[in-house]
Structure 1
Amino acid sequence: MSERVPVPRNRGFLFLDSHPAGCERVVTDMWQAYPDPSEAPEGAGPVALVIGSSAGYGLAATVAGLKRAGIRGIAVSFEKAPTERRTATAGWYRTAATAELARSAGRELVFLNGDAFSDAMKEQVADLVEQRFGGRLDYLLYSVAAPRRTDPDTGAGYASVLKPIGRAARTRTLVFDDQGVPEVREVETEPAEGDDVEQTVAVMGGADWERWIDHLAGRGLLADGFTTAALSYIGSPLTAAIYRQGTIGAAKAHLEATARTLDARLRTTVGGRAVTSVNGAAVTQSSTAVPGIALYTGLLRGVLGEEMVPPVRQLAALWDQLTGAAPLALDDEGRIRLDRWELTDEVQAAVAERWAAATTETIAGLADLDWFRAEVRRLYGFSVPGVDYTAAVATDVPWPTPAP
């Protein structure tokens, strides 16, 4: 078994290696952060499919689903195995740790590694539902953030972009130099052109989510009352020009329109439901790629401190609503809102005041930079309390295989 001492080498917010023990501890901490339900789930537990289960809100959905709702079923992600030169991706190690938690909790959860956009993955999942889980699926949570997608019908490739629509957008953003010194910069992003919007919608909109439902329904695998939720984000007016009003926002609007279409269909066919779940801000591998989000999130933490709600607690609340343990908290457009704590007038006014005052010289007193830096490193298993980073660890952790 290969052992080494992984070190946190990075290019901006992207780290080249990850730490297996740190990633395991991150998942364990998520598990322990939320209390057990007041009543243990009875029986075998509902059958769930989580698509995009290894990172961000998808990981939180998987961990919270196991602990809060007692789910069993299938989790799908796309991660890279370790090589002689590189560790595995952080999601690979997080998946191994999640599998161990599921096993220790007595929940059968099968982890698949591959392209969730492909029909081959959909067929593999459908076969597993039929053969291992009684042929009926109760829940599907969709949490996919990807740079590109291939249409299985046409073979056409699509690439998503982060651009404003209509005109260029200037925003402030937060970067760190090689020594970790923060700098507030103003960047300009050119507007979408050509078919940028259509390409981004094709990748990040609701087309693949709907395709999953079509495939599973076509196999007769949707249980009575089947419920599906796609995880989404709206965010602050401070980041709207790049995010909600930009190409990604167009994709999110398409996702929400797809939810309404699916909801009407599922109510008629299986007495079910489809919703989008609007989550609050968090430091994720996807969010750090969006200009302005790093600065905004650091300032938000500076305002809220420990009152900032972590993803696992948000997703535990989502599972409570989906399973009926708590009433649905819908907005006027039928979306579950898990971001109300972030978007109150009081909180947004305080963040906006700090945003206007933020410069390289003042940022340390306005944002929680220590927390933000630690959160970025934790995405890759570094800066996790309780982990000995001087000790060699096994990096060739196998992908979890289901019991016979």
Structure 2
Amino acid sequence: MWERTPPRADGTSPVVLLLGHSAGYGLATLLTGLRQHGIRGVGVAYEGAETERRTAAAGWYRTAAAARLADEAGLDFAFVNTDAFSESGKTEVLDLLERRYGKVDYLIYSLAAPRRTDPVTGAVHHSVIKPLGRPYEAPALDFSGDTPKVAGVRLEPATEEEKHATQQVMGGADWRLWVKALTDRSLLADGFTTVALTYIGSELTAPIYRQGTIGAAKEHLETTAVELTAMLNGTGRAFTAVAGAAVTQASSAIPSIALYTAFLRTVLGDDFRTTARQAGELWDQLTGRAPLVVDDQGRIRLDGWELDQQVQDRVRELWADPEAGLDHASQGADWFMAQIRELYGWGLEGVDYDVEAETSIPWPMPSR
């Protein structure tokens, strides 16, 4: 059994709505919340089912495994497979919350998607990973072959239309709609807290991340947090939480991030903080187990370990000569590759991959 904090004074555990629970930081936040705080509530993801030609998406099976762990621990957590950006998806989730759990204590926003349809205008926005203002040229990690190697990447700057579209997909527009929808249904608990996960990262990757289209979306997210706190008008609070680097499906698709992460792992070794550890720190701060630590912009900071000056100086030395750096950081690159494989269920200890596995796993449905 998992060891958990005691229930609240009224004997209940927190009700959580977790948007984007099936991968990366969202999954870590789900599992850590279940394990440490016995959270109840609803997780939302949008994962493809099995067809005659292919298995289900990896997040489908991760959700099934998470539901099994929750059930074995006697925890009441439901999972909805729907487009969280859509009005119908919001209605389905809110109906379930109202029927089964009541008012929400925490809304965790961790959605990552390539496109979003605006529910008001019907416009379909597609996000892009591009620099702003000038082309981006930098080393990157090529892991398409058996042995990782350094390759170059060049990207042309985004247009204003592409910047705007990325903000609409990855910024705070949908987060705001969820908070408003909960408010309109009177589903906000006293002391309601909402958090959107974000990232800043190193100056080495800033031209493609923080100073690029993704960074523009993250700035929109941070502005939305301030606006939501004002909208809640003392009945709740909104934050962005700045996590540190991680190997996720989303981050592995961003040019240069893989090489940077391999170098960071080489420098830090086992001090590289897992998503689970960072999620545990976030929950401790949100629930009052640990002091809430925010920067001068009101953002919860979980990334001090990554941005420590000595750590960044050592990463910068490797980055200055990336091919020589990769020779020195071969273990970090191998670790990165192993992490990528594990995201999709490969290379796990204790798994016999010669044994036939059942792939027709149903989506965990609410029992009541």
Q: Report TM bin, short chain.
A: over 0.9
Q: In the alignment, which residue of structure 1 is the partner of 2:99?
A: 131
| 1:265 counterpart = 2:228 | no
TM-score of the aligned structures, taking structure 2 as reference length: 0.97
Give the equivalent residue in structure 2 for 1:366: 329
Verify: 1:350 aligned to 2:314, yes or no. yes
Q: After TM superposition, give the deviation of residue 402 of structure 1 in Å.
A: 1.3
- Match in the other structure for 2:238: 274
- Does structure 1 residue 36 correspond to structure 2 residue 15? no
Aligned residue among 211, 219, 233 for 2:177:
211
Which residue does the alignment assign to 1:293?
A: 257
Asked if structure 2 preserves the Cα contact closer than 8 Å seen for 1:72 and 1:107, the reply is yes
Give the SS at the match of 1:317: helix
Corresponding residue number in structure 2 for 1:256:
222
User: Mind listing any 5+ residue stretches in structure 2 that lack a counterpart?
Assistant: none
Q: Deviations over 1:298-346 (max 9, x none)?
A: 0000000100000011011111111111110111110000110000100
- The residue identity in structure 2 corresponding to 1:364 is D
- Select which of 108, 111, 114 maps to 1:147: 114
Letter in 2 for 1:372: F
**SS of 1:185's equivalent?**
strand
Give the Cα–Cα distance (whole angstroms) in 1 for the partners of residues 108 and 144 of structure 2. Answer: 37
Contact 1:142 1:209 in 2 (8 A): yes
Q: Does the 8 Å CA contact 2:319/2:325 hold for their aligned counterparts?
A: no
Structure 1 runs not aligned, ≥5 long: 1-31
Contact 1:148-1:159 at 8 Å conserved across structures: yes
2:55 matches 1:105: no
Aligned with 1:283 (options 247, 255, 258) = 247
Alpha-carbon offset, residue 394 of structure 1: 0.1
Aligned letter for 1:306?
D
RMSD over aligned Cα atoms: 1.3
List structure 1 segments (4+ residues) > 4 angstroms apart after TM superposition. Answer: none
**Percent identity of paired positions between Structure 1 and Structure 2:** 55
Matching residue of 1:90: 58
Match of 2:141 among 169, 174, 185: 174
Candidates 58, 71, 87, aligned match of 1:119: 87
Asked whether the equivalents of residues 58 and 344 of structure 2 are also in contact (C-alpha less than 8 Å), the reply is yes
Instruction: Give the superposition deviation at 1:81.
Output: 1.0
Does the Cα contact within 8 Å between 1:164 and 1:242 map onto a contact in 2?
yes
1:236 to 197, 202, 206: 202
What is the DSSP-based 3-state SS (H/G/I as helix, E as strand, rest coil) of the residue aligned with 2:131? Answer: coil
2:268 to 298, 304, 307: 304
Q: Report Cα offsets for 1:341-374 as digits up to 9, x if no partner.
A: 0001000000010111221x65132241221110
Report which structure shows greater RCO (CA 8 Å, sep ≥6).
Answer: 1
**Partner residue, 2:188:** 222
Aligned to 2:19: 51
2:127 to 160, 164, 168: 160
- Give aligned pairs, total: 365
Aligned-pair CA distance for 1:132: 0.6
Q: CA deviation at 1:104?
A: 1.3
User: Aligned partners of 2:301 and 2:286: how far apart in 1?
Assistant: 12
Is the contact between residue 225 and residue 239 of structure 2 (CA under 8 Å) also seen in structure 1?
A: yes
